[in-house]
Amino acid sequence: LPADSDFWVFAYGSLMWNPGFDHEESRLAQLYGFHRRFCIFSFHYRGTAQKPGLVFGLDRGGACRGMAYRIARDKGETVMDYLYKREMISGVYLPRWAPVFVAGQKVLAATFTVNRHHRQYAGRLDDAETLRLIRQGEGVGGRCADYLRNTAAHLDELGLHDTILKRLAKAL
């Protein structure tokens, strides 16, 4: 963590509509070099090992628009502890500091990108398989279909257009 300043957290899925941590402000943000994709088998939050769901990961290539949350320096450890407990259950994510553009300025933000070598990495699935997994997925965090709908609705509210997500939500 930065020792003497606030920092940012980049959100691209459920952290956008359910961050679960204190923040000073939230702003639209863009991350280059990664894109949002249903590419992670969920065995906990949105599925089980017997009936996995899918959740988003930041996969290589492209760009992703989402939210950035500014975290006060004195709350940094608490927020990062929370995020590690939430995001790092199975190690499918790689935590990293990445440059993110917030209001036209480049800032470093904590984010979680997908670990392509993890057993939960689903890779690039076609729409039919993606929808099958989303329809069956239900875990301690609820139904995978609700996760898709909530994320799509929140992106719409923010004026962020994700054509793939819209297509999946409509097909669901």
C-beta of residue 75 within 8 angstroms of C-beta of residue 37: no
Positive or negative, the CA dihedral 85, 58, 38, 15 is positive
**120 is written with which tokens?**
């939960």
Establish whether 87 is a catalytic residue: yes
Which is nearest to 98 in space by CA: 172, 34, 37, 156? 34
- Cα separation, 135 vs 169, whole angstroms: 11
**Interacting residues of 163 by C-beta distance below 8 A, sequence separation 6+:** none
**117 is written with which tokens?**
């070598």
Question: What DSSP character marks residue 121?
Answer: B
Q: Per the residue annotation, which of 24, 25, 77, 87 is the catalytic one?
A: 87
Query: Phi first, then psi: what are they for 167, rounded to 5°?
Result: -60, -45
DSSP per-residue codes, 70-100: EE-GGGHHHHHHHHHHHH-SSS-EEEEEEEE
**45 is written with which tokens?**
């939050």
Residues with catalytic roles: 87
